């Protein structure tokens, strides 16, 4: 139908979209929607802005404009300017980081810290090469050796002890197969493994160390525990507590659900006892009671005692967090695992724990963060963690009277660590898609 | 720490044993250093310098003891102790000697089974107040609000003082000295009370120290000194006589600078000769070398020098000698004769 006129009331082309009215689009629109959508919200926004401006007006000049970085005393700071006296952090920074660690040996904790990231890489990100897990398993002893020094053969002896225990658990059950019930055989093997490891550690390691040192002396200059302090100390206690509490917590949580009455009783007893006692009490026990009970002259290292207590404490909480995850799984999952014919360990490893741990992530990270912040409690037993170091630093005539700068600095350190942990847990949740969407 | 010792300790832990400590002097000599308990940080008395070395009034006395025993003021290790852990650390043998602003009281001496070996600082509880309050004596403090550290002897002394003088006060309980400082500066209390040395140290940190006064009244006796465990007589004698030697050195004008020349030159004063080991066998009696006192004095000087360097009037803390002046100069510092 050529030549036919187009219908007048039908548009031939789409009208190009016109920009939204200024009041609803762009930054202005966003602000209108989110900040000034009503009288109450507008007032609240203005008040908040005024508050933020007020705080910034106080903090920015104090911290940035008027702060003093180079002075040798608080009085010196005050002569230069009236802002924050950051000179104290400038002067004592290394003390905050390493405590009293000998200066020429400080590369050792630094190396240990760098290797820490290599060690936790495969644990944190699934993209990492799996073989690195072997390194992660060996890392605690490596870090111990780097930080405290001494003969290399001591840590090696400790590894041999663990290997002996593992060998017992691995190779004993097949030996008694047929003669004993399978579960009982396994239990007996675990007991024998623990006993063998303990015996090795108690009676053979020293001879082992001495013998090998006589043949080939490899060692680092030993550093005493009393010289550890500052962030190094917090990190040692925090990281070993975190690394230790997760596996122990899993074992305790599983033990609590066990049908074997003895295992269940031990786990419940441990968890409830530890949860019923404040951490400070445990630290005092570690410090005070052991000092009385141990024969005079023995050196059971204080930091090691504290690490053990902190780990035990966090493990009990971790066990309950993980139990929550286990309880959160539908019974069908357990039954499905059973119906596939998987034995207990396989069903736990392949079906139950991956789901339970996934559910528990927020709680687990919560416990980690709490544990890390709790490390500052060691101040009451005279260990000089960052907060503990404040006292001797502020007792120095030059810096006596400084408060905000030092506490702020320590708070910043803890914030960085805890915030990183919390962000990581959010990343993990996103990746594992916890929401059952 | 070595893994080895840890494991030995773990093994030994199984064998329960109660601390029947041998002679500490033998232990100290065997291990080659003194483990000295000090404060975790108290202005002028114990602090760490930028290299992480302990220094301060109490610390120098520890070092002088080490110098007397080993001839080396660095043959020493420090254990920072809090008010709560100090006595346990000593009783359990973790430290050999406690030099931590510890007030000598009957119950500590007798009930806790320690031996106090003298007094290296005579302290007492005082009051600090803002100058514009116009108060010049503690007897005018009726009705004041007082910042007071809870759970200390100062709290009890304060109650005693106000009751004895028939006055009222309103306590503002606080936990630490740092907190007290903030509260006092924020006008949460009119008066801050603690040991006078602590008041002076606190005041020195203010931006306007001239606007605050420490009232002249001292309402308690706080003799601070070193202590060791009961039964450590030989070891205690050494600690006591190192302290006495430093006081006698001030009396006799022996300083860190001139001690060597005094020991070698032919001094007339027989007591100096005895002290510096030129005459007699006093070092031998203590089980030390003859020149032990020379080493002790060289560490930080005599008592007066140590005082001036760490807490004296030319320091930020600015304490006057007061009671801690020699008995010959109006104080009560009085060492028994060296013979």
The tens digit of pLDDT for each residue in A317-339 reads 999 999 999 999 999 999 999 99
Please list, in sequence order, all residues whose beta carbon lies within 8 angstroms of the beta carbon of residue A61, skipping any fewer than 6 positions away: A83
Contacts of B39 in chain A (CB under 8 A): 391, 395
In-domain check, residue A87:
no
Q: Tell me, yes or no, whether A233 and A316 share the same domain.
A: yes
The CATH number for A334's domain is: 1.10.3720.10
B41 vs A392: CB contact, 8 Å cut-off? yes
Q: Is A181 on the interface with B (CB under 8 A)?
A: no
Which residues are registered as beta bridge partners of B116?
Answer: B227
Q: How high is the pLDDT of residue A48? A: 94
Q: Tell me, yes or no, whether A203 and A260 share the same domain.
A: no
Handedness of CA A396, A400, A405, A406 (dihedral sign): positive
Rounded to whole angstroms, how far apart are CA atoms B50 and B291?
A: 32
Query: Among residues A99, A90, A57, which one has the least CA distance to residue A71?
Result: A90
Q: Tell me, yes or no, whether A184 and A207 share the same domain.
A: yes
The per-residue DSSP string of B249-308 comes to HHHHT--TTTHHHHHHS--S-HHHHHHTTSSS-HHHHHTS-TTHHHHHHHHH-SHHHHHH
A293 vs B13: CB contact, 8 Å cut-off? yes
Rounded to whole angstroms, how far apart are CA atoms B226 and B101?
A: 8
Q: How high is the pLDDT of residue A436? A: 55
In-domain check, residue A343:
yes
The minimal CB distance from A301 to the residues B1, B22, B207 is found for B1
Q: What is the pLDDT of residues A370-427, one digit of tens each?
A: 999 999 999 888 888 898 888 888 888 888 878 889 999 999 999 999 999 999 888 8
Rounded to whole angstroms, how far apart are CA atoms B148 and B184?
A: 10
Q: Tell me, yes or no, whether A262 and A304 share the same domain.
A: yes
Number of domains in chain A: 3
State the smallest CA–CA distance between residue A270 and chain B in angstroms. Answer: 20
Q: At what angle do helices A153-175 and B3-14 cross, to 10 degrees?
A: 60
* Average pLDDT of the residues in A241-258: 92
State the smallest CA–CA distance between residue A111 and chain B in angstroms. Answer: 19
B3 vs A99: CB contact, 8 Å cut-off? no
Q: Tell me, yes or no, whether A230 and A298 share the same domain.
A: yes
Q: End-to-end CA distance of chain B: give it in Å, rounded.
A: 44
Q: Is A388 on the interface with B (CB under 8 A)?
A: yes
ipTM of the complex: 0.77
Return mean pLDDT, chain A.
86
Contacts of B44 in chain A (CB under 8 A): 395, 397
Chain A window 49-88: which residues touch B at a Cβ cutoff of 8 Å? 73-75, 78
* Average pLDDT of the residues in A51-72: 90
Q: Tell me, yes or no, whether A380 and A299 share the same domain.
A: yes
Q: How high is the pLDDT of residue B282? A: 92
Rounded to whole angstroms, how far apart are CA atoms B170 and B161?
A: 13
Q: Tell me, yes or no, whether A123 and A180 share the same domain.
A: no
User: Where in chain B do CATH 3.40.190.10 domains reside?
Assistant: 3-122+223-329, 125-220
The minimal CB distance from A296 to the residues B19, B80, B316 is found for B19
B92 vs A291: CB contact, 8 Å cut-off? yes
Please give the angle made by the CA atoms of B128, B86 and A284, to the nearest 5 degrees: 115
A382 vs B81: CB contact, 8 Å cut-off? yes
Please list, in sequence order, all residues whose beta carbon lies within 8 angstroms of the beta carbon of residue B193, skipping any fewer than 6 positions away: B125, B126, B127, B128, B146, B147, B148, B154, B158, B199
The minimal CB distance from B40 to the residues A225, A290, A388 is found for A388
Name the CATH code of domain B3-122+223-329 (choices 3.40.1160.10, 1.10.167.10, 3.40.190.10, 2.40.50.180).
3.40.190.10
Q: Tell me, yes or no, whether A113 and A172 share the same domain.
A: no
CATH number of B125-220: 3.40.190.10
Contacts of B11 in chain A (CB under 8 A): 202-203
Rounded to whole angstroms, how far apart are CA atoms B50 and A6?
A: 91
* Average pLDDT of the residues in A28-55: 89
Q: Tell me, yes or no, whether A111 and A195 share the same domain.
A: no
Question: Is the per-residue pLDDT at B328 higher than 90?
Answer: yes
Q: Tell me, yes or no, whether A305 and A235 share the same domain.
A: yes
Yes or no: say if A208 and A155 are a contact pair by the CB < 8 Å rule.
no
Nearest chain A Cα to B28, which residue?
A297
Rounded to whole angstroms, how far apart are CA atoms A286 and A306?
A: 6
Which residues are registered as beta bridge partners of A99?
Answer: A228
Determine which of A157, A210, A382 to mutate to test the interface with B (most B C-beta atoms within 10 Å): A382
Q: How high is the pLDDT of residue A220? A: 86
Q: Tell me, yes or no, whether A271 and A375 share the same domain.
A: yes
Q: Of A220, A240, A257, which marks where a domain is finished?
A: A220
Yes or no: say if A149 and A143 are a contact pair by the CB < 8 Å rule.
no
In-domain check, residue A232:
yes
Q: How high is the pLDDT of residue B9? A: 45
Question: Is the per-residue pLDDT at B326 higher than 50?
Answer: yes
Q: What is the pLDDT of residues B65-122, one digit of tens each?
A: 999 999 999 999 999 888 778 898 898 888 999 999 888 989 889 999 999 999 999 9
A401 φ, ψ (degrees, to nearest 5):
105, -5
Q: How high is the pLDDT of residue A169? A: 81
Nearest chain B Cα to A153, which residue?
B3
Q: Tell me, yes or no, whether A274 and A421 share the same domain.
A: yes
* Average pLDDT of the residues in A251-275: 93
Identify the domain containing residue A130 by its residue range: 102-149
A304 vs B94: CB contact, 8 Å cut-off? no
């Amino acid at each position: 139908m050529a030549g036919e006129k187009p219908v007048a009331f039908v548009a031939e082309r789409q009208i190009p979209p016109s920009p939204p009215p200024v009041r609803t689009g762009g930054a202005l629109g966003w602000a209108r929607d989110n900040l000034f959508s009503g009288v109450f919200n507008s007032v609240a926004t203005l008040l908040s802005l005024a508050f933020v401006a007020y705080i910034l007006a106080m903090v920015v000049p104090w911290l940035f404009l008027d702060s003093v970085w180079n002075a040798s005393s608080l009085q010196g700071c005050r002569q230069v300017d009236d802002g924050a006296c950051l000179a104290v952090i400038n002067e004592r920074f290394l003390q905050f980081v390493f405590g009293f660690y000998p200066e020429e040996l400080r590369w050792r904790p630094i190396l240990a810290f760098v290797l820490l990231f290599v060690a936790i890489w495969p644990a944190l990100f699934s993209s990492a090469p799996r073989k690195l897990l072997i390194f992660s398993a060996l890392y605690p002893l490596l870090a111990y050796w780097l930080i405290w020094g001494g003969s290399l053969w001591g840590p090696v002896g400790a590894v041999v002890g663990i290997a002996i225990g593992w060998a017992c658990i691995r190779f004993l059950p097949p030996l008694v197969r047929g003669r004993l019930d399978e579960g009982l055989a396994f239990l007996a093997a675990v007991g024998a493994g623990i006993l063998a490891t303990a015996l090795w550690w108690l009676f053979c390691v020293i001879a082992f160390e001495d013998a090998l040192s006589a043949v080939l002396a490899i060692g680092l200059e030993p550093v005493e525990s009393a010289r550890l302090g500052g962030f190094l100390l917090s990190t040692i206690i925090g990281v070993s507590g975190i690394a230790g509490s997760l596996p122990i917590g899993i074992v305790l949580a599983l033990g609590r659900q066990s049908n074997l009455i003895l295992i269940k009783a031990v786990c419940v007893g441990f968890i409830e006892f530890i949860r019923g006692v404040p951490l400070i009490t445990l630290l005092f026990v570690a410090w005070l009671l052991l000092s009385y009970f141990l024969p005079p002259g023995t050196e059971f290292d204080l930091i090691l005692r504290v690490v053990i207590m902190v780990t035990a404490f966090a493990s009990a909480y971790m066990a309950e967090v993980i139990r929550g995850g286990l309880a959160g799984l539908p019974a069908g999952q357990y039954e499905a695992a059973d119906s596939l014919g998987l034995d207990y360990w396989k069903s736990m490893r392949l079906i139950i724990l991956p789901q339970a741990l996934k559910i528990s992530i927020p709680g687990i990270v919560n416990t980690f963060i709490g544990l890390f912040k709790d490390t500052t409690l060691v101040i009451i037993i005279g260990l000089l963690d960052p907060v503990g170091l404040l006292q001797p630093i502020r007792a120095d005539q030059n810096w006596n009277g400084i408060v905000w700068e030092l506490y702020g600095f320590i708070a910043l350190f803890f914030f960085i660590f805890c915030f990183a942990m919390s962000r990581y847990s959010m990343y993990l949740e996103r990746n594992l898609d916890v929401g059952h969407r | 720490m070595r893994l080895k010792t840890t494991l030995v300790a773990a093994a030994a832990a199984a064998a329960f044993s109660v601390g029947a400590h041998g002679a500490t002097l033998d232990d100290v000599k065997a291990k080659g250093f003194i483990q000295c308990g000090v404060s975790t940080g108290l202005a002028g008395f114990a602090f760490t310098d930028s290299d992480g070395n302990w220094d301060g009034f109490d610390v120098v006395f520890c070092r002088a003891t080490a110098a007397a025993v080993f001839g080396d003021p660095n043959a020493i290790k420090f254990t920072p102790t809090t008010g709560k852990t100090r006595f346990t650390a000593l009783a359990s043998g973790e430290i050999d000697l406690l030099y931590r602003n510890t007030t000598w009281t009957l119950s500590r001496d007798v009930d806790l089974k320690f031996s106090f070996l003298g007094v290296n600082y005579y302290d007492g509880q005082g009051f600090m107040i803002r100058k514009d309050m116009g108060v010049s004596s503690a007897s005018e403090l009726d009705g004041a609000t007082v910042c007071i550290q809870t759970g200390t002897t100062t709290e009890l002394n304060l109650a005693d003082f106000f009751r004895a003088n028939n006055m009222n006060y309103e306590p503002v309980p606080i936990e630490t000295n740092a907190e007290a400082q903030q509260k006092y500066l924020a006008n949460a209390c009119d008066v801050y009370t603690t040991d006078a040395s602590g008041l002076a140290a606190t005041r020195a940190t203010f931006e306007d120290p001239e606007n605050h006064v420490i009232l002249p009244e001292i309402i308690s006796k706080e003799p601070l000194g070193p202590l060791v465990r009961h039964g450590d007589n030989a070891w205690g004698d050494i600690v006591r006589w190192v302290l006495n030697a430093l006081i006698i050195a001030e009396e006799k004008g022996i300083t860190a600078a001139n001690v060597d020349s005094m020991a070698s030159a032919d001094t007339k004063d027989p007591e100096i000769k005895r002290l510096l080991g030129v005459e007699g066998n006093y070092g031998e009696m203590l089980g030390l070398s003859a020149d032990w006192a020379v080493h002790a004095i060289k560490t930080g000087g005599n008592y007066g020098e140590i005082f001036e360097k760490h807490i004296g009037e030319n320091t930020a803390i600015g304490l006057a000698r007061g009671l801690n002046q020699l008995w010959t100069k109006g104080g009560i510092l009085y060492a028994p004769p060296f013979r």
